[in-house]
Amino acid sequence: MSAQPLLSPEELEAKLRQTGAELYHHRHRFHRRLHTGKCTYTEVQAWALNRYYYQAMIPIKDATILTRMADSEDRRQWRKRIEDHDGTGNGDGGIERWLKLTDSLGFPRDYVISTRGILPGTRFAVEAYTEFCRTRSLLQAVASSLTELFSPAIISERVTGMLAHYDFVSKDTLAYFSKRPVQAKRDSDFALDYVKKHAKTRAEQNSVVEALEFKCSVLWAQLDALWSAYVDGAIPPGAWVPGTHTLHDRGRAA
């Protein structure tokens, strides 16, 4: 087997974009269902409840990466991710905006924040992500954030699709997504520059692509678990049961 040649930064970027085109969760059947109005009210509830855990763990994941960055300027840039999610005070930040969505779907905040009702598959996937960022190389930890290269497109499709198809969501309840594309663009520009600059061998370049593949599998596995439990109806013991733990249940699309 001959050694693989070093890729140019542009070739590495092309390989990363190709990886996303093939593996990012915009291709998952749950998202097609969600964006085309086929989801029931309870499926949207389950999606929002489970994804809360992913949102809530993002600042923990980013703080884990911060602990590993030796360079002040890198940390300054990375810190913005934590500020975006945690906000600058009560009632601000991405997590808070996600809770506005779960509010609108009838969940009490303490139930959502407790994460008592999430699927084990959600928990294990999200924790694998944090663990990856703690134990792999810093280069791979940074690279695993590169799914954000692809999030503006899926968010645009999601917001348009959900507003068109579900009367129980509004621009207000989807406020989380209105902020994300600009933030994601800024963050993925930084991360893409970082990996293009710091991956100096082909082995390191391959490790960057592998980190993105891993992260795509983290997102994909969450939707697999969601489909199995709430579309296929095989809810694992202990996970949220539709019709419970809600303050109100409009169920217009159910």
**CB 63, min distance to a second copy, A:** 17
Buried b (16+ CB within 10 A) or exposed e, 49-66: bbbbbbbbbbbbbbbbbe
Residue with Cβ nearer a second copy (116 or 250): 116
- Other C-beta atoms lying within 10 Å of the C-beta of residue 109: 11
CA 214 from chain centre, in angstroms, equals 13
Closer residue to a second copy in complex, CB, 180/215: 215
Q: Toward a second copy, which CB reaches closer, 85 or 215?
A: 215
Q: How far is the CB of 187 from a second copy (least distance, A)?
A: 24
Angle at 220 between CA 135 and CA 164, to 5 degrees: 135
Chain residues that interact with a second copy, rule: CB under 8 A: 22-23, 29, 119-121, 123-125, 127-128, 131, 213, 216-218, 220-221, 224-225, 227-229, 232, 234, 236-238
**Closer of 23 and 162 to a second copy (Cβ):** 23
Minimum distance from CB of 128 to a second copy (Å)?
4
Report which residue type is found at 112. Answer: V
Rounded CA-CA distance 184/213 in Å is: 18
Decide if 123 contacts 115 (C-beta within 8 A): yes
- Choice between 30 and 41, CB closer to a second copy: 30
Q: To 10 degrees, the CA torsion angle through 171, 177, 183, 187? A: -170
Report, in Å, the least distance between residue 61 CB and a second copy: 15
Q: How far is the CB of 207 from a second copy (least distance, A)?
A: 16
